[in-house]
Structures are given as C-alpha cells and as structure tokens.
Structure 1
Amino acid sequence: MIRVARTPCPPSLNPADPDAAGPRELRRLKEKLDQGETLKSDDFRAYGSHAVREDLREMFHGKCAYCESKIAGSQDTDVEHYRPKKGVTEADEAGIRHPGYWWLAMRWENLVLSCQHCNQSRSYHVIIPDGLETEAELRTFLEQHTKSKAGKLNAFPTEDSQWVTVETGDITSERPLILNPVDTDPKHHLDWVLFEGASTVREKDGSPVGESTRRILGLNRRWLEEDRRIRLLEMRRLRNRLIDKLNKWIEAEAPEIAEIYRTTADEYIEDLVALTEDDQPFAGMARAFLELVQKEVAEMEGP
C-alpha cells in the first residue's frame, strides 16, 4: 500500500452542482428516509458510473488501493466505500445502531478502487502467518493450511469504538483502524518481511491501524502473497547482481575496469528504482526493499 493523492472530483459527483448525479441522489435518499423508507442497494447508483470508475482507475494507477495488485486489466474492480454505505459491522457488534454512511455514498473523498478480494468478505482465504523463515516452512504450512474469512465489506473499526451515525456529525472526530491511502501514509503503519520464506506484511512498531488493516483486508492471503513474492524475488536477484558488481568495482585495480562495473551497478539500481514507481504492483514493498539496498550501497561506497 502506498500514499495516493486524491484527484479532482468527477463532474457527476460534484457537490457544488445541484444538477449533478451525486447531489440529486443525495436528495432522493433524504426524501426516502424522511418518509420512513429503508434504503436499498439500488438506491445507490451515482458512485458506480463508468466515468467515476475510470477516474478511480487513473488515480490508483490501475491497482487496488489496499493490496496494490494490478487489477484494471485482468479482473473486475469494485468501487469501494471507505466508510461503508449500508452499515458498520463493528458498530452492530458493539450494540450501536449504525445506518451506514449513506450520505457519503456519492462523495468522491469516500471512494477508492479495490479488488474484489479486499472489498468483499470471503471465507475461503488461506492467510500466510508471520515467522516463516524459509520457503520450506512456507510449503509445510500450505500443506496443512486452514481457511479464514477476510475482506472489508462493511468493516469499519475505530480505536475508541465511536462512530458518527448521522449526516450532521463530524467524521474527522473518528479514529479509523483501517488505512485509507489517500488520507494516511501507509509506511507509518505497515512493515514488510523482505528476507524470510514468505513475502508478508505486518504492523509497524505495534501500530493497531496496521494490524487491523492487514487482518481485515487479508493482506497476507495466499495468492496475493505469492504474487508479491514473485516481485520480491525479482528484486532480490537484482540486488544480488548489484552487490556483486559493486564488490568487483571496489576490488578492480584498473580504473577503466572499475568504471565498467560501476556503470553496470548503476543500471541495476535504476532497474530497482523503476519497480518502485506509483504504477508498479506492490510499490510499497518495493520501496521498503529499495531503502535497505540503498543503505547497503552507501555503506559499500564509504565516506
């Protein structure tokens, strides 16, 4: 997960335009509630337009906002409501009646692009545990695995179990336990396992936001971890070649030979940097890996 800048609101959701689809839908929802009617899924349509979905694809670089899988070209995407529109699971469990953040269903700032695995709650996920130091341990686990439920759906936990339940409430007073990469930089809450048997993500420095995010979204689910591990192994290979060329650069006696090794090493660094760009899958993990490599290079280069 990486920090993403919110792009301008699509015209159809512009709250300043009373004739736009978003404001018109909000008026209809209020009318239904005033008449004592219950809101249904079909009442929420403005957020699902093709234009909105395309703007989200562009903003999130064709990736899931949560797991950073490249999804736009290979599978259907979900327009995800960060604050759920039809209910809050944790509020219900705490005995608090929450109607959902229906008044935010058509608000641009509440929408993100999500893969279906992160957005929908499914009970067949295999979650890779922490502490698998070797690939052999990973294989053993997969032979004995159990299935778990994961996916956001209507989940929206808060640190103090307090939620805004009415349109006039101040949502900035809430303390969400799920990361929104538009509002918060994930690197402060998530840490990456880079040199063990599995490519997993864990909370950083005991962050409850990081722990809740990875658990609820299933960020260590099996096939996602496998895709991340493939990218990580690619970066490891580049790192190994880089370190080899730097060692030869240091050991070379002839300046012209040293220059050849250094040039090759710099090319490997460029290859690693390219994998950290916003549009690359798993850029958050790649940036953490690159940071470690850069420290290695700095130590080898000396003062």
Structure 2
Amino acid sequence: MRRINRPKESPWFLQSDRVMVEQKKVFAYLRRDMEDRRQRRDPLNDDIFFDLEFRGGIAKTFHEKCAFCEAQVGREGVVLHLRPLRFAADGEGLDKNYYLWLAFEWRNLFYSCSQCSRLKGDRFPVDGPRASYLASFEDIVQHENALLVDPATEDPHKSLRFLCDGTVASLGEEGVETIAVFDLNRDGLVLSRRRLIEKMLAALSGRGHGEFESLLGVNAPHSGALLSILRRVADAWLTADSPIKGSGENFAHRFINRWLAADKEQRDQLSLAAKRVEDADSNFQRYAAWVAEIVPRYEIDRSARVVEGEIARVEISYFKGISHLELEIPFHREDKSGAPALMIIGENATGKSSSLAAIALALIGQSEAGKLKKFMPSLVHSEGVNHFDQLDAPPIKVSVGFHFSPVQAAFYFDARRQLISSENEPSMLVLGYGARRFFDTRKRDRPVGGAARVRTLFDPLATIPYPADWLRQQTGSRLDTIAAALRIILTLGEDDELIVTPDFIGVRANGRVVSIDALSEGYRSVFVMVVDIIRELLEHWGNIEQAQAVVLIDELETHLHRIRPANSPSELQH
C-alpha cells in the first residue's frame, strides 16, 4: 500500500446529470422517516458504479492498481466505498442506510481489485461511536475514529510495516484492522510481494537503473511495499547526517542517483545494510504477532467471504446426455452491479437441467450426495446414438473451481462399482429448484442438509416447504429485511405492503388486502420459492445483503410471467 495523491477536484462524472438524478433519489429516500424506510430497499442503482467512464476515471486516479493490496488490475477493478453504503458491520442499533449518503462523495471512492472489495464487504471498524446520521463527510472524519488506513489521506507506512519475506505487519490497531479486513497477508499477495522484493534487493548489486525505476514507479505492482523496505535499507546504509529525503517517486529517484554514484566500498556497505534489514524483519515478526493478539477486533474469514459461492469454472463429463461441457464464470459482471448470474439457454434435451444437477452434486459434499443415490442410475451417460446403452458407460465426473482459491469441488460416480466419490464436506450453501417447484401447504420444514435443499432438481414430485409458519415467527429488522426483498420480487407499488401477523399473511396492493393463500398457484409458487431462498440465506448469514450461496433454478421463466417477465431474473438476483 502506498500514499495516493487524490486530486481535490472530483471527476466530471460525479457532476453529471445521471449522478445528480441518482443522488436526488437517494437523498429523498434518506430524508423519509425510518418507519417509512424499514421495509423498503433504497432506490440507488448500483449499476452506475460499473459505468465504464465512471470506473475509468477512478482507475486513472489510482494508477489502475488496487488502492489496498496494490495488485495491478487495469480496467478490471471495481469501485469501492471505504465507508459502506448499507448495513455497516458492528453497527448494532445503527440505521441500515449508513453511509448511503456518501455514495457519490469523491473522498469515499476508491479503486479496488475484486478480491479486496469482496473481503471488505460492509466492514468499516471505528473506535467509539459513529457519526450522526446524514452527517457531512467533514463531520464524519472529525467525529469518527476510523480504524482502516485511508491511503488517500495518510501515509500507510505509519500503520503498516512491509517485511522482506513479503508479509505485512501492523504498527498499531489501525494496521491490525486493515490487514484483517483486506487479508493483506493472503498467500498470493505474499508470494507476489516477496518475488518483487527479492528482485529489488538483487538489483542493488547491479548497475542498471532501468529495472529499479520500473519496480518503484507509481504504476508498478506493490511499489509501496518496495519503497517501504528501500527506505529502511537507505536509513541503514547512510549516516544520519546525509539521509535521502522525500517520499514516493521523489525518494526513489534520489536513492537511484545516490546508488549510481556509489563506489565499490559504498556498494558493499549497501549490501550489508540490506542484510541487516532482513535480519531486523525476522525479529519484528515476533513483535507484530504479539501486537495482533492484543487487538482482535476483526478476524480474517476467507472461507465465508471469498471461497463460498465464487464459482469460476465448471467441467462436466459423461453426465446423462452431456459428453463433455466446460463453463467459465467471471467474478463480477463488467458493467452491472450484483453477483454474476449464468443463464443457460437451449433447446429441449440439450443438457440444461443436467448441468444444474451436476453442479449441485459436486457442491453438496459426499455424504449429502449419497442421500440422492437412488437417482444415480438415471444420470449415467449412454454412449449409444441410435439406442440407449449404459453397459460400459464411463464414470460421471464433475469439477467446480473457485475464484481466488486452489480448492476444487468434485463429484465422481462409477455405475459399475456403484461408487460415489466427492468432497467430504459441502463446499458452500447450495439451493436447487427443479422445473416443477411444487409446494405442499402441509409441509412446513424440510430435512436438514444439502441433499434436501436440491432434491427438486432430481425428483419432480419433491415439494418445497410452505413458509407461512416461518414467516409468522419473524419480527423486527429480520421481518423488515424479508419484506423489502419481497417488495421487489412481487413488484409491490409505493403504497403497497406485505402484511404478516400471527394469524394472517397477505399483501396490500391497489388499495385491497389479499391473503397469500387466495393468490393464484403461479403467484404462490414464486412467493414460496423466493421466501425459501430468503429463509435459507438468513439461516446461514446474519445479513442477507452480504449472503452468499449458489442458487440453481431450472426453467426460470416458469410462473414468472405472472409477475413481470422482463425484469424477473434481475429482481431475483437482487
């Protein structure tokens, strides 16, 4: 991480008509009473942060590098709000819309790699109370004791110490929180930094300065970490009365000039100074570990925040009618907000439903896949073209890879030996909904486990639990979250609302109150499926806005025409 010289004047895009319209909508919403906002989602269209001009301007300011881990991302990075727009973590009792009013505040916008963005999520730790609702940015900065390093307003090296082995250590609580929130010691980052540090230290014994300049330039990956180490090497090399002054690129140029002018004896002293810095870093690691132990505010949670749900690649072989299929899934959509949604379109009998079933089996784990064993014979591939032939069918193979993780989920079934092999534990939360999606009003709960959650993909007669009893048990902010999500799916108007009481569930729409049980079967089918998704997400995640799962829906358009077909996939994604 290195200090960023952010221009005081915001990019023109933040003054554009499009942004002004969005900001006006957001401010009008935020000025409503809390009671009016409880069961409504805010109107901000997050797609605006994926606009190529918007993103391009911010990318240029941050030299097309992640502001936090310094990975080079080019124009593939994302816009990150340092203070989150919704559901600030650790904000118990806090309005859900903290800090939505800073959506277009230039000083709250950063450029980030996708991994740092996802790791951070809604986390913004502070020591003490948060600023008042709708406070100006100046008041917020004055009254909040923020515990994340802001590389655009402070020198990161006062809170972080980059070490010669590629790791980064904290110099206090702010450093501890920053390292934990962005997981700045994740394996890939440490390896990348270490290689560049070794390259820089090796270059000290040479004479060519071109390589030095390329390593330390503002556009170079991890140049902030390299400059931090080079500063300590320079301090150990030169006497106190002739230090190299300046910072950033000014310091780098002055160091290179002093280095080029050095004689052999001075070069030998420089090599010894670099060795002393490496030795000092080894000792410093023990101190840094002790500092981290005494300030445990945020724990690094790689499994929940990055691996789960981040599917990158699917490979399916010999599954029903599929001989071989490979799917590549991007981490995020290029020009829209929200998680990537993959829609498979094709004629009947081309493998659409089979693909969903295969993915489900790979992700739910071996013990859960075993509960679906009676369906396995129907999944075996037939090599026959003019007739059905499974006599010497090859084994089914399915693998699922994840972004930012070497881990793979896999499923294997050998029909001849009746052998099922898969991961021992589920890779993530998986929800599956077959084409029929029947529901049973007498069935209130489903059995525990991944197999039960995806059973309708394999059994056309399996049913989804009817959620009435569960809905009636929900109260307070949890019910508000559910109502806000259903408002989008059910396309409720401004004056419409979901009504949930101990003995009634209904919708007030167009001035009339209608019981959910009185709605059409198609409408109720959508309602039951959406509530089932929400229910499972809330069971596994405290905040539905940050929840992650793989949701597999066969024949997505079934019943959705009864609501609003053009926007239904997008609304389900939200």
* TM-score, length basis structure 2: 0.38
Deviation per residue, 1:134-164 (Å, 9 max, x gap): xxxxxxxxxxxxxxxxx1110000122x112
- Find the aligned partners of 1:31 and 1:52 in 2 and give their Cα distance: 23
Q: How many angstroms apart in 2 are the aligned matches of 1:44 and 1:105?
A: 9
Partner of 1:191, secondary structure, is strand
Decide which structure has the larger Cα Rg and report it. Answer: 2
Does the Cα contact within 8 Å between 1:199 and 1:232 map onto a contact in 2? yes
Equivalent positions of 1:237-248 (< 5 A) are: 237-239=202-204, 241-242=205-206
Q: Mark the CA change 1:226 to 1:41 in structure 2 (over 3 Å): closer, same or farther.
A: farther
5+ long unaligned stretches in structure 1? 121-150, 243-263
Which residue in 1 is equivalent to 2:190?
225
Report what 1:132 is aligned to.
Answer: none
CA offsets 1:44-74 (integer angstroms, 9 cap, x no match): 344332212111111111100000000116x
Q: Which of 173, 188, 196 lines up with 1:208 in the alignment?
A: 173
Aligned to 2:133: 166
* Counterpart mapping for 1:31-70 below 5 A: 31-33=28-30, 34=32, 36-37=36-37, 38-40=40-42, 43-70=45-72
Counterpart residue type for residue 276 of structure 1: L
Q: 1:92-136, CA deviations, whole angstroms, 9 ceiling, x for partnerless residues?
A: 3xx43442211111222211001111110xxxxxxxxxxxxxxxx
Q: 2:470 is matched with which residue?
A: none
Determine what percentage of the aligned residue pairs are the same residue: 24
Tell me the SS of whatever aligns to 1:6: coil
Aligned residues: 233
**2 CA distance for matches of 1:41 and 1:272?**
49
Tell me which residue corresponds to 1:153.
Answer: 121
2:152 is the counterpart of 1:185:
no
Given that 1:101 and 1:165 are in contact with CA atoms closer than 8 Å, whether structure 2 keeps it comes out as no
CA contact under 8 A between 2:26 and 2:43: conserved in structure 1?
A: no
CA displacement 1:228-254 (0-9 Å, x = unmatched):
111112112213x24xxxxxxxxxxxx
Aligned positions of 1:107-186 closer than 5 A: 107-120=105-118, 151-160=119-128, 162-168=129-135, 170-172=139-141, 173-186=143-156
Q: CA separation in 1, counterparts of 2:94 and 2:134?
A: 16
Q: Deviations over 1:172-226 (max 9, x none)?
A: 21111111111211011110111xxx3100112xx21111101111000011111
Partners of 1:274 and 1:25 in 2: CA distance: 41
Letter of the aligned partner of 2:53 in structure 1?
A
Q: Note if contact 1:62-1:279 (Cα within 8 Å) is conserved in structure 2.
A: yes
CA RMSD, 1 decimal: 2.3
* Cα distance change of structure 1 residues 66 and 280 upon mapping to structure 2, 3 Å threshold: same
Structure 2 residue ranges without an equivalent (≥5): 240-264, 270-574
Name 2:368's counterpart in structure 1. none
> Which is worse superposed, 181-190 or 37-46?
37-46
Query: Which among 21, 34, 39 is matched to residue 24 of structure 1?
Result: 21
Q: Does 1:278 align with 2:246?
A: no
Whether 2:10 is the aligned partner of 1:9: answer yes
Matched, 1:99 2:101: no
Q: Distance in 2 between matches of 1:108 and 1:47?
A: 12
- Note the C-alpha offset of 1:296: 5.0
1:47 is aligned with what amino acid? F
Structure whose residues are more often strand by fraction: 2
Give distance in 2, aligned partners of 1:90 and 1:183: 24
Q: Tell me if structure 2 keeps the 8 A contact 1:65–1:114.
A: yes
Which 4+ residue blocks in structure 1 deviate beyond 4 angstroms?
Answer: none
> In the alignment, is the contact (CA less than 8 A) between 1:273 and 1:290 conserved in 2?
no
Q: For residue 166 of structure 1, what is the amino acid of its counterpart? A: Y
What SS is found at the alignment partner of 2:110?
strand
Change (3 A) 1:274 1:294: farther
